[in-house]
């Protein structure tokens, strides 16, 4: 089994979601372990539970502190504990943009509404007032914009006759406790799931103009140009030739560039067997917080180096807008 991802949980209060996450981490199929529970309120109830379960805790009141300063201290605690992911569970603080950006793709939040409906506060009352048939809960990636990152999973919760915000909140809590550990687990699992990674690369490669897929030596590959005379710009590489990586191979500009990248960022790049000799680099996909925009940039660059002029002109025109 792959190594477990290390997760820090940030809370502000009761920490019932934290408890759900913590106990789910004890199940055999858990893809993560909790390395820290941190709170912006030293009195947060969840802290004592975490400590009783033998989890490291950290607490620092935000009162009298600058936002950036408090964020930095929380972040430092998470890093110090070796966290690769931050999971917000009822953390009632708005984070600085910089903090959110630094953890993009590696920070999740749970929000008690069916996003994009009702970001912000008072979600239950707003759903009841609007006459909605259901409230619910969403787990999403955190981006600088409040409650607006990619939704990873949702669960609907029926609103009954005469429902109050409190009664609805209480029931939604049950749904939260089911949803959060599951979505977190799936999210972490997918970064090692070859099928998920292949589907993503395929989507990005085929989004470029005049491309098609063709197998090469048993691996999926993508070509630019016509079916007849097209040229490869990417290959999918699933732990081939003894490599532990799942990767996409793309063309670099030169052998020097390839070797420099591999030396400077061995966690992100490697020189693949056979292909490496002709300037193809392996961009590693099965790693925490992979930036898919970066993969898309590599694919486009590699595609540009072989694509017909008619096709690159198309994309140049599109990129002007
Ligand atoms: C939950 O309702 C969650 O959706 C929201 O804050 C609440 C936290 O509750 N973001 P708890 O501390 O996990 O019990």
Kindly report the CATH number assigned to the domain that includes residue 229. Answer: 3.90.1150.30
Max distance between CA atoms of the chain, in angstroms, equals: 70
How far apart are the C-alpha atoms of 65 and 214, rounded to whole Å?
Answer: 57
The predicted-structure confidence for 25-73, as pLDDT tens digits, reads as follows 999 989 999 999 999 999 999 999 999 999 999 999 999 999 999 999 9
Measuring from atom 3 of ligand 1, which residue has the nearest CA? Answer: 90
How far apart are the C-alpha atoms of 18 and 47, rounded to whole Å?
Answer: 10
Q: Show the domain range for 245.
A: 194-319
Give the pLDDT confidence score for residue 147 in this predicted structure: 84
Q: What is the tally of structural domains in the chain?
A: 2
End of a domain among 171, 192, 213? 192
Q: Are residues 44 and 14 in the same domain?
A: yes
pLDDT at 5 over 60: yes
How far apart are the C-alpha atoms of 255 and 268, rounded to whole Å?
Answer: 17
Could you confirm whether 111 is annotated as catalytic? yes
Residues enclosing ligand 1, CB less than 6 A?
11, 13-18, 89-90, 110-112, 176
Q: Are residues 172 and 203 in the same domain?
A: no
Measuring from atom 2 of ligand 1, which residue has the nearest CA? Answer: 112
Q: Are residues 172 and 50 in the same domain?
A: yes
Give the pLDDT confidence score for residue 2 in this predicted structure: 61
- Phi and psi dihedrals of 118, rounded to 5? 55, 60
Give the pLDDT confidence score for residue 75 in this predicted structure: 97
The atom of ligand 1 lying closest to the CA of 11 is: 12
Q: Are residues 100 and 186 in the same domain?
A: yes
The predicted-structure confidence for 224-283, as pLDDT tens digits, reads as follows 999 999 999 999 998 766 677 999 999 999 999 999 999 999 999 999 988 999 999 999
Mean pLDDT within 79-103: 95
The atom of ligand 1 lying closest to the CA of 12 is: 12
Q: Are residues 178 and 216 in the same domain?
A: no
CA of 132 to the centre of ligand 1 (A): 21
Helices (H) and strands (E) in the chain, counts: 10, 13
Q: From residue 295, how far is each of 167, 228, 289, 321 by CA, in Å?
A: 45, 27, 12, 22
Q: Are residues 30 and 57 in the same domain?
A: yes
Give the pLDDT confidence score for residue 302 in this predicted structure: 98
End of a domain among 131, 160, 192? 192
Q: Are residues 133 and 230 in the same domain?
A: no
The predicted-structure confidence for 243-257, as pLDDT tens digits, reads as follows 779 999 999 999 999
Q: Give pTM, 2 decimals.
A: 0.80
Confidence of residue 81 (pLDDT cuts 50, 70, 90): very high
Q: Are residues 146 and 273 in the same domain?
A: no
Measuring from atom 7 of ligand 1, which residue has the nearest CA? Answer: 90
Radius of gyration (C-alpha) of the chain in whole angstroms: 23
The atom of ligand 1 lying closest to the CA of 109 is: 10
Average per-residue pLDDT for the chain: 94
Mean pLDDT within 177-198: 93
CA of 210 to the centre of ligand 1 (A): 47
Q: From residue 21, how far is each of 46, 59, 62, 188, 226 by CA, in Å?
A: 12, 19, 24, 13, 50
End of a domain among 144, 164, 192? 192
Q: Are residues 63 and 164 in the same domain?
A: yes
Kindly report the CATH number assigned to the domain that includes residue 169. Answer: 3.40.50.170
Answer for the pair 11, 167: CB distance below 8 angstroms, yes or no: no
Q: Are residues 184 and 235 in the same domain?
A: no
How far apart are the C-alpha atoms of 40 and 62, rounded to whole Å?
Answer: 6
Q: Are residues 40 and 105 in the same domain?
A: yes
Give the pLDDT confidence score for residue 242 in this predicted structure: 67
The end-to-end CA distance of the chain, in Å, is 46
3-state helix, strand, coil in the chain (%, to 5): 40, 25, 35
Q: From residue 320, how far is each of 159, 177, 313, 315, 317 by CA, in Å?
A: 48, 46, 11, 9, 5
Match 């609007």 to its residue by tokens. 130
How far apart are the C-alpha atoms of 275 and 237, rounded to whole Å?
Answer: 11
Q: Are residues 136 and 246 in the same domain?
A: no
The DSSP code for 106 is: S
């Amino acid at each position: 089994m792959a190594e477990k991802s290390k997760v820090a949980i940030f809370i502000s209060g009761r920490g019932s979601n934290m408890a759900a996450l913590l106990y789910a981490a004890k199940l055999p199929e858990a893809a993560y372990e909790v390395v820290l529970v941190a709170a912006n309120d030293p009195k947060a109830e969840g802290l004592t539970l975490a400590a009783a379960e033998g989890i490291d805790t950290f607490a620092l009141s935000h009162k009298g502190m600058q936002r950036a300063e408090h964020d930095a201290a929380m972040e430092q605690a998470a890093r110090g504990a070796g966290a690769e992911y931050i999971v917000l569970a009822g953390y009632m603080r708005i984070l600085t943009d910089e903090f959110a950006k630094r953890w993009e793709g590696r920070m999740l939040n749970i929000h008690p509404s069916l996003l994009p409906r009702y970001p912000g506060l008072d979600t239950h009352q707003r759903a009841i007032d609007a006459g909605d048939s259901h409230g619910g809960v969403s787990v999403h990636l955190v981006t600088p914009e409040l409650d607006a990152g990619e939704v990873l999973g949702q669960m609907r919760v029926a609103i009954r006759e005469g429902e109050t915000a409190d009664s609805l909140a209480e029931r939604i809590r049950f749904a939260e406790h089911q949803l959060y550990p599951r979505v977190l687990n799936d999210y972490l699992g997918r970064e090692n799931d070859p099928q998920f990674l292949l589907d993503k690369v395929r989507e990005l490669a085929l989004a470029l103009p005049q491309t098609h897929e063709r197998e090469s030596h048993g691996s999926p590959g993508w070509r630019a140009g016509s079916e007849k005379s097209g040229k490869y710009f990417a290959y999918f590489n699933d732990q081939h030739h003894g490599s532990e990586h799942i990767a996409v191979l793309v063309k670099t500009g030169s052998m020097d560039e390839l070797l420099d990248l591999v030396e400077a960022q061995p966690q992100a790049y490697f020189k693949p067997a056979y292909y490496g000799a002709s300037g193809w680099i392996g961009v590693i996909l099965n790693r925490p917080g992979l930036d898919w925009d970066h993969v898309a940039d590599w694919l486009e660059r590699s595609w540009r180096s072989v694509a017909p002029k008619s096709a690159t002109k198309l994309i140049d025109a599109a990129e002007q807008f």
